[in-house]
Amino acid sequence: MRHLLGIKYISESDIHSIFQTADNFKDVINRPIKKVPSLRDTTIANLFFENSTRTRISFELAEKRLSADVVNFSASSSSVKKGETLLDTVNNILAMKVDMVVMRHPNPGAHVFLSKHIDAQIINAGDGTHEHPTQALLDCFSLREKFGEFKGLKVAIVGDITHSRVALSNIFALQKLGAKVRVCGPPTLIPKHIGSLGVEVSYDLKDTLRWADAVNMLRIQLERQDIAYFPSLREYSQLYGLDKEILDSLKKDLVILHPGPINRGVEITSEVADSEQAIILDQVENGVAVRMAVLYLLAGAK
């Protein structure tokens, strides 16, 4: 592995080796001294052409806990606004001797494009509606902690599948690991041919939850929706929102994931998001360990 452009491009054994390394880093970040010197001679640029809180802080902490030197960049406060191209921006940053690039970009495929034109190693921190590999890795790592293994595990992904990079990366990762995946949401928010990826499709939340061992509740990505895909948030919430009532009616310990940011009261109620069954904050903790593992394994490959 030279880059992490998407889950699509890595193998099942790559994923397992990331998990095993992440186990060790999880130990490290739970010690009083949370830092190791592995990446002390590495400089990493975090290029965020799109807004982010969790991913950006998580990557930055992961880099700092590996002792890397870190520079941050966000599009809103940069020369991109003055009309500079992506390649020029990145090449200018690389001219200052940067070894790795962690990038989030609104255009799907921006990382693949970049990987063909620059020397540095690239980690995808989200490209538009395409992939968000480290999120899928940390989701699966969290599921692994709960369930142990993936063979036969049933995972539902509920919500705005069309506009979600988390959904696509999760589908690839879960399938590579041997889990069964079902997507669920209003027909307008599920891509027409998603069945060709080998996932089940359902428009019925309750039926999906009865089927699933774990559910990943996605946010409605209003910022990516150019037209109205459903009549109102209220209606969406009534049909596809996860609340205590549905959860109790299942009479089982469904594990609930959410990639954040949560829109409380839309896709998930506060009561459910803060319940014992939700592992949302575990996901965030695991995110740092998983990103440390990805950085370590990529940097270690000469």
Partner 1 sequence: MKKLDLFPDGKLDVTLLRLCHQLLENYGDFEDTVLLALQPRGVYLGRRISQLLTALLPGKTVLYGELDVTFFRDDFRRRDSVLEPNKTQVDFLIENKNVILIDDVLYTGRTTRAAMDAMLAFGRPKSVELLALVDRRHQRELPIEGSFIGITVDTLDTDHVTVELREAGGEDKVFLTEK
Interface with partner 1 includes 296 (CB under 8 A)? yes
Member of 2, 13, 31, 95 binding partner 1 (CB under 8 A) = 31
Kindly tell me the sign of the dihedral angle through the C-alpha atoms of 238, 241, 250, 213: positive
Subset of 162-181 contacting partner 1 (CB under 8 A): none
- Based on CB atoms, which residue is closest to partner 1, 14 or 271? 14
Owner of token pair 């001219």: 95
Phi, psi of 69 (to 5 degrees): -85, 140
Q: Taking the complex as a whole, how short is the minimal distance between the CB of residue 28 and partner 1, in angstroms?
A: 7
Rounded-to-integer distance, Cα 244 and Cα 248, Å: 6
Considering only CA atoms, give the Rg of the chain. 19
The stretch near partner 1 (CB under 8 A) out of 6-14, 27-35, 71-79, 161-169 is: 27-35
Total of residues contacting partner 1 (CB under 8 A): 23
Interface with partner 1 includes 262 (CB under 8 A)? no
Q: Is 224 a catalytic residue?
A: no
Subset of 43-72 contacting partner 1 (CB under 8 A): 66
Q: Taking the complex as a whole, how short is the minimal distance between the CB of residue 177 and partner 1, in angstroms?
A: 20
The stretch near partner 1 (CB under 8 A) out of 21-29, 174-182, 205-213, 257-265 is: 21-29
Q: Taking the complex as a whole, how short is the minimal distance between the CB of residue 66 and partner 1, in angstroms?
A: 8
288 contacts 58 by C-beta, under 8 angstroms: yes
Give start and end residues of each alpha helix (H) in the chain: 12-29, 54-65, 86-94, 110-115, 133-147, 165-177, 205-211, 233-240, 244-250, 270-273, 280-300
SS3 state of residue 126:
strand
Rounded-to-integer distance, Cα 91 and Cα 164, Å: 29
Residue 79: other Cβ atoms inside 10 A: 12
The DSSP annotation for 144-201 comes to: HHHHS--TT-EEEEES--TT-HHHHHHHHHHHHHT-EEEEES-GGGS-TTGGGGT-EE
The stretch near partner 1 (CB under 8 A) out of 28-36, 74-82, 130-138, 218-226 is: 28-36
Q: Taking the complex as a whole, how short is the minimal distance between the CB of residue 131 and partner 1, in angstroms?
A: 23
Catalytic residue among 26, 132, 163, 182: 132
Q: Taking the complex as a whole, how short is the minimal distance between the CB of residue 279 and partner 1, in angstroms?
A: 23
Rounded-to-integer distance, Cα 127 and Cα 255, Å: 27
- Based on CB atoms, which residue is closest to partner 1, 19 or 49? 19
Phi, psi of 163 (to 5 degrees): -100, 10
Member of 12, 16, 20, 261 binding partner 1 (CB under 8 A) = 20
Q: Is 260 exposed, middle or buried (0-12, 13-18, 19+ CB in 10 A)?
A: middle
Interface with partner 1 includes 124 (CB under 8 A)? no
Catalytic residue among 8, 54, 146, 154: 54
Member of 14, 23, 200, 243 binding partner 1 (CB under 8 A) = 23
Q: Taking the complex as a whole, how short is the minimal distance between the CB of residue 297 and partner 1, in angstroms?
A: 6
- Based on CB atoms, which residue is closest to partner 1, 42 or 175? 42
Interface with partner 1 includes 16 (CB under 8 A)? no
Do you find a cis peptide bond into 231, omega within 30 degrees of 0? no
Length of the chain: 302
Residues acting as catalytic residues: 54-55, 82, 104, 132
Q: Which residues bind partner 1 (CB under 8 A)?
A: 17, 20-21, 23-24, 27-28, 31-33, 36-39, 41-42, 66, 296-297, 299-302
